Amino acid sequence: MAGVTVSAVRKRYGSVETIHGVDFSIADGEFVVFVGPSGCGKSTLLRMIAGLEDISGGEISIGSRVVNDVDPSDRGTAMVFQSYALYPHMTVAQNLSFGLRMNGNPAADTERRVAEAARILRIEPLLDRRPKALSGGQRQRVAIGRAIVRKPEVFLFDEPLSNLDAELRVQMRIEIARLHSELGTTMIYVTHDQTEAMTMADRIVVLRAGRVEQIGAPLDLYDNPVNQFVAGFIGSPRMNFLAAESLGGGRLKLPNQGGAEIGLAAAQGLAAGQKAVLGIRPEHFAAAGQGNCDLHLAIDVAEHLGATSYLYANTKVGEPVVVQAAAVRSAHAGDRVAVSIPAARAYLFDPNGARRA
């Protein structure tokens, strides 16, 4: 087993730089998730760790070894791909054993490892089938099995659940988490789904446009995002962002919300007239009168999920507000509702996105 250290790593395609000097380290046995929107460079970063992409600058170490120039097969990694990448002309058993056979691993050991992986992933009955005869979830299990037989020091997952339906995704999420606790191996997992990131990771690396925005434990990122991007990306539904204008003395006016006012400690340093962005998570609204700033909202869409309801309001004003309310079954489109922002739950950001604490 081994940790992974990424130091000042860059990636350039011609004159275009897509990864701009990324630094972080992953402890031995840790489960780290790279998360970010499409095109943020998370898969490129994973492929650079795997050795499938050259790096244009910096250093990648796995364990105590710098692996910049080490062949992908010698890095001690195994990768699970989004498309499963199973060899369609081979049976499941042949898929699992292919790499070992090609490398001249003793047949008895190969057989033992395949049987062990099949047992761990509960795919023994599928060993003689071809990939086309498997369901999506079974294929993904085989893909993971192919990684397991290598006994890697680091598992790399590139959006492995994206092709599965919602129910299967939840199931496989649990399987991968179980696998991690069973094997105790370092795992790096790429996803654009923040729910996967929140539920599986020991730590999350949030990426945007080839830069690390924040690294931390899931709840740290949720509670203390360093900027507006992270605040918006972590949490579902995403955080509401309301335009704010300082009145001086720590008080803010919300011009798009009927001129409502609120006092925030984070706004103390703002001069009167200075612009800012106030953030409030949908689940943090209080009932009207019970917070520090009441908002009067016109509901455009109401989604009732049973245990909870999402009210989408003020979309016509151009500054939509989403409110998560437990069991507000009576609210419907066209209704008006009043909610309140508790100052202790509000976040304040500069117009450039940086958090004001």
Question: Using CB under 8 A as the criterion, which residues of the chain lie in contact with other proteins when the complex forms?
Answer: 47, 50-52, 71-74, 77-79, 81-83, 85, 87-89, 98-100, 102-103, 146, 150
Residue nearer to other proteins on the CB measure, 152 or 291: 152
Residue nearer to other proteins on the CB measure, 89 or 332: 89
Nearest distance from C-beta of residue 96 to other proteins, angstroms:
10
Nearest distance from C-beta of residue 87 to other proteins, angstroms:
6
Residue nearer to other proteins on the CB measure, 150 or 169: 150
Nearest distance from C-beta of residue 350 to other proteins, angstroms:
42
Nearest distance from C-beta of residue 104 to other proteins, angstroms:
10
Nearest distance from C-beta of residue 51 to other proteins, angstroms:
8
Residue nearer to other proteins on the CB measure, 99 or 320: 99
Q: What is the 3-state secondary structure (H, E, C) of the chain?
A: CCCEEEEEEEEEECCEEEEEEEEEEECCCCEEEEECCCCCCHHHHHHHHHCCCCCCEEEEEECCEECCCCCHHHCCEEEECCCCCCCCCCCHHHHHHHHHHHCCCCHHHHHHHHHHHHHHHCCHHHCCCCHHHCCHHHHHHHHHHHHHCCCCCEEEEECCCCCCCHHHHHHHHHHHHHHHHHHCCEEEEEECCHHHHHHHCCEEEEEECCEEEEEECHHHHHHCCCEHHHHHHCCCCCCEEEEEEEEECCEEEEHHHCCEEEECHHHCCCCCCCEEEEEECHHHCEECCCCCCEEEEEEEEEEECCCCEEEEECHHHCCCEEEEECCCCCCCCCCEEEEECCHHHCEEECCCCEEEC
Residue nearer to other proteins on the CB measure, 52 or 247: 52
Residue nearer to other proteins on the CB measure, 84 or 222: 84
Nearest distance from C-beta of residue 118 to other proteins, angstroms:
17
Nearest distance from C-beta of residue 88 to other proteins, angstroms:
7
Residue nearer to other proteins on the CB measure, 101 or 119: 101
